[in-house]
């Protein structure tokens, strides 16, 4: 489903991604862990080209992006439709009601008619447990509610892959639970997911594979139980100890 080959990205002298390669199967849930600055978020943001990698190849579904060649607008649009994204800071549109947040891109980007978009939006709001908030504005909602709506908004584009960039990092632990519950349900439904997270429990329980990144590269990956409980790499051991000791 996703194939990344030798992806490189640097800002000036600072190398953020140092030739990263990874294959992700359809329906697989991959948790990406690692210290800040390891390149996890950058890798995720490169997958839908919010960041432009310097070189390498990204394949998502049928869409292939070869860098550093110029990316055609068509390819960019297809790629972003294929991959939905959820941000750490939710980024709901504050000037639109919850319902409009979920339906606007369906109408504007997918060309659905207003009635179909409305119906699909309500289904998705139902799914994330917030159908009763359809008429509210984002500022009136808690962070956890906002993030669930952001998930519904991304799902409304019928993506084949969902990318999560630290979806619960900005939330109180309790509020994060609802978001994690929605993500669990999504994982169980067979969605291909790439989740950058510090939630070790989520990685342990829900993911099919844990990928540990440090210094712009993948240093260890594999079965969650194995990577999280008996990591082979000393860097991973140190990182996990720090996370668990907190």
- How far, in Å, CA of 217 to CA of 62, rounded? 25
Which parts of 10-49 interact with another protein (CB under 8 A)?
Answer: 48
Size of the chain, expressed as the number of residues it contains: 246
User: Are the CB atoms for 213 and 197 separated by under 8 Å?
Assistant: no
Residue position matching structure tokens 């800040």: 36
- How far, in Å, CA of 128 to CA of 107, rounded? 21
Stretch that binds another protein, among 25-33, 114-122, 151-159, 208-216 (CB under 8 A): 151-159
Interface with another protein, residue 75, by CB under 8 A:
no
Total residues at interface with another protein (CB under 8 A): 27
Of 37 and 93, CB closest to another protein:
93
Stretch that binds another protein, among 82-90, 112-120, 193-201, 207-215 (CB under 8 A): 82-90
CB of 239 to another protein, least distance (A): 27
Stretch that binds another protein, among 80-88, 121-129, 192-200, 229-237 (CB under 8 A): 80-88
> Over the range 194-215, which residues count as b (16 or more CB within 10 Å of their CB) and which as e?
bbbbbbbebbeebbebbbbbbe
Of 138 and 231, CB closest to another protein:
138
CB of 95 to another protein, least distance (A): 5
Cα torsion 25, 121, 46, 164: sign: negative
Of 141 and 210, CB closest to another protein:
141
* H-run or E-run covering 11: strand 2-11
In degrees and rounded to multiples of 5, residue 70 shows phi and psi of -65, 140
Interface with another protein, residue 53, by CB under 8 A:
no
**Which residues of the chain form contacts with another protein (CB under 8 A)?**
48, 50, 73, 77, 80-81, 83-85, 87, 89, 91-95, 104-105, 108-110, 137, 139, 150, 153-154, 157
């Amino acid at each position: 489903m996703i194939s990344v080959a030798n992806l490189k990205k640097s800002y000036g002298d600072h190398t953020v991604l140092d030739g990263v390669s990874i294959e992700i199967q359809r329906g697989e849930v991959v948790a990406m862990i690692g210290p800040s600055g390891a390149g996890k978020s950058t890798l995720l943001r490169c997958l839908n080209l919010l960041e432009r990698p310097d070189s390498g190849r990204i394949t998502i579904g049928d869409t292939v992006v070869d860098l550093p060649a110029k990316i055609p607008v068509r390819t960019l649009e297809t790629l972003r439709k294929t991959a939905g994204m959820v941000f750490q800071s939710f980024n709901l549109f504050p000037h639109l009601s919850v319902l409009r947040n979920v339906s606007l891109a369906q109408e504007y980007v997918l060309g659905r008619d207003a009635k179909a978009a409305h119906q699909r939006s309500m289904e998705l709001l139902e799914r994330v447990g917030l159908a009763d908030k359809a008429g509210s504005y984002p500022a009136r909602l808690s962070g956890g509610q906002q993030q669930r709506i952001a998930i519904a908004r991304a799902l409304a584009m019928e993506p084949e892959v969902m990318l999560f960039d630290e979806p619960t990092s900005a939330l109180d632990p309790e509020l994060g639970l609802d978001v994690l519950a929605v993500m669990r349900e999504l994982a169980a439904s067979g969605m291909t997911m790439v989740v950058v997270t510090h939630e070790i429990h989520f990685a342990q329980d829900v993911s099919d594979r844990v990928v540990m990144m440090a210094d712009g590269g993948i240093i260890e990956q594999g079965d969650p139980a194995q990577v999280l409980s008996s990591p082979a790499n000393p860097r991973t051991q140190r990182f996990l100890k720090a996370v668990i000791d907190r």
